[in-house]
Amino acid sequence: MSQPCQSSTPLNIVPWLCLIACFASSPVSLISVSSPAELHASKGDSITLSCTFTSTNRPTSRMSVDWSYRPQSGGPPTTFFHFSSQAFPPTEGPFIGRIQWQGSPARGDASIVLLNASLSDNGTYICTVRNPPDVHGSPTSHTVLTVTPKAASVQFSDVAVLLAFILLPSAIITLGLIARMLCPLKQHSHSKSYRSPIEVTNGEEYDLKSMRDREKNVTCCELCLMDLDHDEYDTQKKPPSREECFTESHC
């Protein structure tokens, strides 16, 4: 009956050769987990904590995923989510009701979603994946999350009020001024309001001609009477009599 591992090799080397032969008969199982090193979000956002893995063996029902959280102030990490054939969301603590399973083990995805992020969520999130018999490699990955206050944004109602009460009237006034500059009002040169003193209409020209004719036919007596009624004269001077005016009218 032959004995295993017997040869002429020195006895102190035999155990090492047997150990190497045993490992060579079975392939080495490895797993690698990766996730973003940093994530930035605003308060109130929904954040996807991404975690992917690769394994030399296809994921089975024995595969498990654990998510842990270490606060920004430090301290040991605390596991708040577990997956093994099904998701087990947190039932207590600050993450209760705020974690959703987003992973797909068949595609090597072990991601989760953090809802309604708050400033107290700042810290380090650790993803750990186990897929026996893959026990070697890098089964964990770390992501540092930074949540900041949401920047103030202009609401649509504010914009509408601004347009209605400020910009719209200003635009109307500006368009009116531009239209007035490009299309000035025509000056009515023959309008009575802007008429030159020497300009007359056809009817007025006829009236002036009639007045001149009447002035030519007026008698000396009428002129004298007109002078008596409208002109100032020297009181010491004797006004002409009606006989004198009548005599002059025949001259």
Q: Which CATH number characterizes residue 131's domain? A: 2.60.40.10
Q: Is residue 178 part of a domain?
A: no
Would 125 be classed as within a structural domain? yes
The three-state secondary structure class of 156 is helix
Q: 19 pLDDT band (50/70/90 cuts)? A: very low
The per-residue pLDDT for 244 is 55
| CB distance 219 to 190 below 8 Å | no
Q: Is residue 190 part of a domain?
A: no
Would residue 176 count as lying in a domain? no
pLDDT of 60 above 60: yes
What does the alpha-carbon distance between residue 39 and residue 102 come to, in Å, rounded to a whole number?
17
- Whole-structure pTM value: 0.53
Element (H, E) at 39: strand 38-42
According to DSSP, the residues that pair with 144 across neighbouring strands are 38, 124
- Domain of residue 108: give its range: 30-148
Helix then strand then coil, in percent of the chain rounded to 5, is 30, 25, 45
pLDDT class of 91 with cuts at 50, 70, 90:
very high
Q: How many domains does the chain have?
A: 2
pLDDT higher than 90, residue 165: no
- What are 166-189's pLDDT values in tens digits? 877 888 888 888 887 877 655 444
pLDDT digits (tens, 9 = 90+) for 216-236: 555 555 555 555 454 444 445
